[in-house]
Amino acid sequence: MSEPHLNPNSGSPRPSGSSFDMQIVVQLIRSPFQGLALSTGSQWLYGVLGIVASIVGFALWTTVSVSSIFGAFLNPLASLTGGGGIGFSVYTSMFFRMIVLAIISQGLLTGSIWVFGNWLGSRKYAWRDLITYLGGIQWLFGAGYIVAAIIGLLLGQIGFLLASVTLILNLIFIVIAALEIYAIESMQKRAELLVYAIGSYVIVLGIVSSGFFGSIL
């Protein structure tokens, strides 16, 4: 199975055996597309942990945002009194719901890209290969979600704006990476990948999300 034809520079991740090297993580945060240079045989863990970082960061941000919205409705004076209508157990429950939703989101996105990418692309990849590459580029965005959650506790609107930008860029980077991984050069096939993979992802995630937020309400 061939690797993506990336032109790694001197800072590209190098095989590190079974050890975990924080320098590689720093490189992936500084240059997300270096994730395409990861070895699927020896560095797949960086891809998995990149997805985990994105999932946890997204869950933290959505928990802070949704809790703030519900807190404002349940107790308009919460920000003045230092209290609120939402207890710790509700925060915890909401966080784990968002974790599950983020896992489903990652699974749907990766799955749709895997199915349609293998169908339309010049190269074919196994699940672990795709997870390694797509996870490797998400370290930066996991950090972005966490920063947005922290800022959101103090400055709600700025935190929401930062997280929104992070979410959009995360999806854009994943799409660009998918086109590179599968070596899709035809504009027609690129358009088909976008329509089929992203379209099916958005539709299914929208249905699942409505059920999640409906249960919270």
Out of 61-65, 75-79, 95-99, 113-117, pick the least confident.
75-79
Q: Can you read off the two tokens belonging to residue 187?
A: 């504009």
The pLDDT of 183-208, averaged and rounded, is 89
Asked whether the beta carbons of 4 and 181 are under 8 A apart, the reply is yes
Please name the amino acid found at residue 210.
S
Asked whether the beta carbons of 40 and 128 are under 8 A apart, the reply is yes
Asked whether the beta carbons of 81 and 168 are under 8 A apart, the reply is no
Q: What are the distances in angstroms from CA 91 to CA 34, 84, 193?
A: 36, 12, 38
pTM above 0.85, yes or no: no
Asked whether the beta carbons of 118 and 91 are under 8 A apart, the reply is no
Tens of pLDDT along 131-177? 999 999 999 999 999 998 888 888 878 888 898 899 999 999 999 99
Asked whether the beta carbons of 33 and 136 are under 8 A apart, the reply is no
Query: Residue 132 class from Cβ within 10 Å (0-12 exposed, 13-18 middle, 19+ buried)?
Result: buried
